[in-house]
Each structure stands twice: as structure tokens, then as C-alpha cells.
Structure 1
Amino acid sequence: MTGYLLRRLLNYIVLLLLATFVTYMLASATFQPLASLLGRNPPVPAAAIAAKRAALHLDDNPVHRYFVWLWGVCHGDFGQTVAAGSVTDELWQRLLVSLRLVTVGTVLGAVLGTLLGAYSAVRQYKLFDHLATAATFVLLSLPVLVLAPIVKWLAVQFNQGVGHTVIQFTGETTPGAGGSVFADLLDRLNHLLLPTLVLTLFTLGSYSRYMRGSMLDELGADYIRTARAKGLTRARAIFRHGFRTALIPMAALFAFGMTGVITGATLTERVFGWYGMGDWLISGISNQDINITLAVTFFAAVSVLLAGFLTDLITAALDPRVRT
């Protein structure tokens, strides 16, 4: 199994290099990092523009600039922003913000969606299955750009109904709400509640539908009937054999679904005022900043590829054929 995992890891490294290279080439061909300077009134002196152009190495060959950037990344340097700030310093700050949001929402959505789909399959065509199907179809039809404002509006209505702010819906923390470690933790959890709920619901719908279909395929399999014939109860046969086998295709969904979660997090951060990687990506594109856009792309690619590697581990644990 070690050889299998090493081969997969090598594939992911190649994919990471391809993703960042293509992004750098596209950004270099379309972005105009000095556009904000050229449009100012009174005009910026030509010498200042030339100095900025030289500092950003905009006259160098894009392929050469990419490998210079890649060499810097290998040494922990993601370059400079158009405003001459350090991309690396801001990257780690925003990365921690996004990881708190994406990790909790993804794990909760995946676990709850998987359990909901499995139980819906076991209760096929019963009341619970019909209700779960209707709810997940509603969630699947609502993009994050619609779901997040709805959740935020409901929080506002709830706060108005009780007469004071119970649920926080803007930013990561409330200024001056600290005072102790416990009070600061409660405040942060309160601010985390709504965006995590949005990402959980966004993830739950797809996982539930896929798991239901995967589970239904296994419930009618011959090995389930054989297990029942050997004396296992229906619940034990389903849990020990059917559920484990049905999880194998779900592991692949987890990796490929990370892209959608990151996209959803971008919009969620914007709606709820979280200054994470998603908000930074929008700012980087608006300012036509190549290094910011590339740093966020690097983070997104690493997240997806790490999820893929985790999927390989889960698949190897669930499927003995992979280990041999």
C-alpha cells in the first residue's frame, strides 16, 4: 500500500504544479497590475510607474517569473503584492480564518449527509425518506449566494424578535467582547455559527443524495443476502457490510467536492464579513494582483489534493483490494 500512496502523492505534486503554472500564465496574460496607478488623477510620475514595473518584474518572461515565484515558494516566500505588502504574512493570517470555517463546515456536512443518506436508503419510500429527499433537493437547488443571505436574514429576524443580538452574523469577533479566554471563545463560536451552518447545509445535500444511491446499490447485493442467511440480523448485515462498502465511492466524492466547498466559502466569507482566503481572492482579482491570486490558487489546489490523498487513505482502509 505504501507504493500505491507514494505514486498517488507524486501525481498530486504534478497536478499542483500544473494548476499553479496555468493560473500564473492566465493571470500574466490578462492582468494589468499597474492599472490602478495609470488611472490616477493627478497622474503618477512615469518614473514611479517604471520603478513599480521593475519591482514586479513585469517585463520579464512569464515562464521565467513563474519559476522564480516557485523557487520563492519553496523557501516560504510568496512574493509581494501590488501595494508592496508581503503576500506570505497575509496568507497565513487569512489561511487560519478560512481553515476554521471550511474544515468545520466540510466535516459536519460530510458526516451528517452520509448518515442521512444511509438512513434514507434503509427507510426507502417511507415518510422519513420522502422528507429527507424533499429537504435535500431544496438545499441542492439553493446556491450559496442565495442560501447565505437567507440564513443571515433569519438571524436578524430572530434577534429583533428577542429584542437584542443573540446570534452574531458579521465578522469573526465582536470588538471589545473579550475580557477572558472563555468569553472570547464563546464570542468566536457565536460568529462561527451561521457561516458554518451555511457550508454544512451546502455540503449536506450532495453527500446525502450520493450516499442514498450508493447504499441502495449495496442493499440488494448478494453478499448482504448471504450475510442474512448466515444468521446476521438485517441491521448488523447492513452496518458491518453494506455501509462500509457504500462508503468507498463517497471517499472519492469528498476529494472532488472540496472545490465546490472552497467556492462556497468564498461567497460565505463575503456575505458574513469573514476576511479569509475567499475574500482575499476577490480583492486580488479586483486589484489585478497576480501574486495574491496565485497564493489563493495554491491554497485551493493544496486543499483539494490533500483531500484527494486523504481519500486514497480512506479507500485503502475500506477496500482490501487496494492494499494488495
Structure 2
Amino acid sequence: MFYYLARRLANYALLLFVAVSLAYLIASISMNPRSAYDITNPTLDWAAIERTLVSYNISDTIPLTQRYTTWLTNIFTEWDWGRGPKGAFVNEEIGRRMWVSVRLIIIGSFMGMIGGVVIGAWTATKQYTWIDRTITMIALVVLSTPVVVMANLLQIGATQFNLTTGTNFFEFIGETGQIGDYPGAWIVDRAQHLLLPTFSMSLGGMASYSRYQRNLMLDTLGADYVRTARAKGLRKSQAVIRHALRTSLVPMATFFAFAIAGLFLGATVTERVYGWHGLGEYSVNSITGQDINATAAVVAFSGVSTLTGALLSDILIVVVDPRVRVS
């Protein structure tokens, strides 16, 4: 297992280096950091701005190869991903926003995965019944509804609930609000602000995972080994959980691993609607703000997340599927 993981890590590290280098080179060629300043403002000292861009290593007056070499050297020697056109440190922005996204995404992703697997496996055992048809219809409606529409509908429903009950049960704008003076008030405040965006993210996951899980379960429920287990006297619930569900989770393990990685940068809409300043929002702002270093750093984080998901997928398959052997 150790040598297997070492080989995979070496391959992933090489892929990550190539991807991030290409991202930096493309961003350096296509982006103009001067556009981050108001070109219509006659009072700006463009000579001073140019000196600033040169000091940040993002001016196109510096040869591209020299910029790339300096950027790469700073990363490997000081772990310094550079600064934006306005002077913001990329390391600080990534470090702060990363944990914002983690708080928002971790609970929502696990709720979506667990809920999707349970719902999908259950509906597979109720194939073509009214339960199966109803859940299928609801899942298709959720999947066909854009994320921004779903998030706003949930906000409207939460606002109506607060008005009807005369409470502020749902607090859904920003990461935190006014904290009370009672014990544990900050926990309650965080939970209130986390509830609706988390549910908004988990809905899509539940809908999509349940469809995959249902189809995979239907394939395994009719397999010979499940019928054999039933013929030997194993109860239906035990046969479903021990044999059908475990086998169907093998391909789902790969799907889960890559889905979690993609969520970190795929929550842009949710973060904007609910006022969370995470990596999804930062990825958009870095491109629109002509921020070369931030764009490269976001690609690096995305690459690390994706390749971590790939490695996690390899491990999960080995754990879930006893037929897989590595050396």
C-alpha cells in the first residue's frame, strides 16, 4: 500500500506542477493588472503604480520567463504566492477564505452524501411504487432548478417563516450576526447562519447522489450473490446492507471523492447569495480583478483538492472493495 500511494502521489505532484505552471503563464499573458486601477482617474500616478506592479512581479515590462522564475522561487523558498494589484497578500486571502468555505461545505457535502445514499438505496428497494415515483419526481425538480433560484426560494421561505412565527429562527445573510449575551450564544448564532446555506447545498447533493445510488442498487439487487445470500436464509435487510449496498458503494466512492474536491470551488453561487466570502467568491474576484497571482493560487488549491480527491478515491476503493489488491 505504501509504495502504491507513493507512486500515485508522485504522479499527482507532477500533474499539479504542470497545471499550476500553465495557469500562471496563461494568466500572465492574458491579464492586465493595470486594469484593476481606475484608468479614468487623472490624478493617479501611473509611474508609481508601474513601480508597484514591478515590485509585485506582475508587470508585463518584466520578461515572462523572469516573472515565472521569480514566482516559482518565492513559492518553493518562502511559500509566498505573491500579492494582488492592490497589494493584498494571496496567502492571507486563501488562508482566511479557505476556512470559510470549509465551514460551509463540509456539513452540506456529508449531509448530501449520506442522505443521497440512504434515499437512493431505499427507493431502489421500493422500485416502481408510489414512494419511488414521488422521490424521483422531487429529485428531478431539484436537479433541474438552478442553484441561484433554489437558494433564493429558500430565503423567501425562511423570511416568511420568520414573519409568521414572529421569530428570527433563520439568519441567512453572512457568516455571523448579532450575538446574544446568554451562554453558548455564539454557537447558536453560527448554527443559525449555517443552517439555510448548508441545506441549500445538500439538496442538490441528495438529489444527484440518490439517482446514482438507486441505479447502482438496482443492478446489485438482482445479482446472483444477493439471491444466494437470501437462499441461505439471510434476511432481506441484511442481504441488502451487507452485499447489495456495499457493492454499489464502490463506484460511489470515486464519485464522492471528486465531488467533495469540486465543492470547494463550486459553491460560488451559494456563497454570493448568502453573503459568505469563501474561495468560490475569491476565484471569481481574482479573474475579474486581473489578479495573476491569486488566479494561479486558486488553480493550485483546486488542483490539490482534485488530486486529493483522486487519492482518497483510490484508498476508498481499496477499503470498500476487498477484490482490489495493491502492492
TM-score by length of 1: 0.93
Per-residue CA deviations over 1:275-299 (Å, capped at 9, x if unaligned) read 1111222222221111122222222
CA distance in 2, matches of 1:66, 1:152: 45
Q: Confirm or deny: 8 A CA contact 1:106 1:200 kept in the other structure.
A: yes
**Equivalent position of 1:136 in the other structure:** 139
1:135 CA displacement: 1.3
**Equivalent position of 1:277 in the other structure:** 279
**Equivalent position of 1:310 in the other structure:** 312
Q: Is 1:126 the counterpart of 2:129 in the alignment?
A: yes
**Equivalent position of 1:205 in the other structure:** 207
Q: Which shifted more, 162-171 or 62-71?
A: 62-71
**Equivalent position of 1:162 in the other structure:** 165
CA distance in 2, matches of 1:180, 1:80: 41
**Equivalent position of 1:28 in the other structure:** 28
Code of the residue aligned with 1:78 in structure 2: it is W
Residue of 239, 251, 254 corresponding to 2:253: 251
CA distance in 1, matches of 2:307, 2:181: 40
CA distance in 2, matches of 1:216, 1:70: 51
CA distance in 1, matches of 2:172, 2:211: 29
Per-residue CA deviations over 1:75-113 (Å, capped at 9, x if unaligned) read 332211111121112221111101111111111101110
Q: Confirm or deny: 8 A CA contact 1:144 1:264 kept in the other structure.
A: no
Per-residue CA deviations over 1:17-41 (Å, capped at 9, x if unaligned) read 2332232222112211111336141
CA distance in 2, matches of 1:162, 1:63: 63
**Structure 1 residues 160, 38: CA separation in 2 closer, same or farther (over 3 Å shift)?**
closer
CA distance in 2, matches of 1:229, 1:99: 47
Code of the residue aligned with 2:171 in structure 1: it is Q
**Equivalent position of 2:105 in the other structure:** 102
* SS in structure 1 at match of 2:323: helix
Q: Confirm or deny: 8 A CA contact 2:173 2:275 kept in the other structure.
A: yes
* SS in structure 2 at match of 1:323: coil
1:66 CA displacement: 3.6
Runs of 5+ unmatched residues, structure 2: none
**Equivalent position of 1:90 in the other structure:** 93
* SS in structure 2 at match of 1:83: coil
RMSD of the alignment, in Å? 2.0
TM-score by length of 2: 0.92
**Equivalent position of 1:4 in the other structure:** 4
Q: Which shifted more, 246-255 or 180-189?
A: 180-189
Per-residue CA deviations over 1:158-182 (Å, capped at 9, x if unaligned) read 122223422001000104x154661
Runs of 5+ unmatched residues, structure 1: none
**Equivalent position of 1:268 in the other structure:** 270
**What is the identity percentage for the equivalent residue pairs of Structure 1 and Structure 2?**
42
**Structure 1 residues 109, 66: CA separation in 2 closer, same or farther (over 3 Å shift)?**
farther
CA distance in 2, matches of 1:3, 1:258: 25
Q: Which shifted more, 121-130 or 265-274?
A: 121-130
**Structure 1 residues 100, 54: CA separation in 2 closer, same or farther (over 3 Å shift)?**
same
Q: Confirm or deny: 8 A CA contact 2:36 2:86 kept in the other structure.
A: no
1:301 CA displacement: 2.0
* SS in structure 2 at match of 1:321: coil
* SS in structure 2 at match of 1:209: helix
1:259 CA displacement: 5.6
CA distance in 2, matches of 1:62, 1:259: 31
**Equivalent position of 1:17 in the other structure:** 17
* SS in structure 1 at match of 2:100: helix
**Equivalent position of 1:50 in the other structure:** 50
CA distance in 2, matches of 1:263, 1:91: 12
**Structure 1 residues 227, 290: CA separation in 2 closer, same or farther (over 3 Å shift)?**
same
**Structure 1 residues 71, 129: CA separation in 2 closer, same or farther (over 3 Å shift)?**
farther
Code of the residue aligned with 2:34 in structure 1: it is L
**Structure 1 residues 137, 89: CA separation in 2 closer, same or farther (over 3 Å shift)?**
same
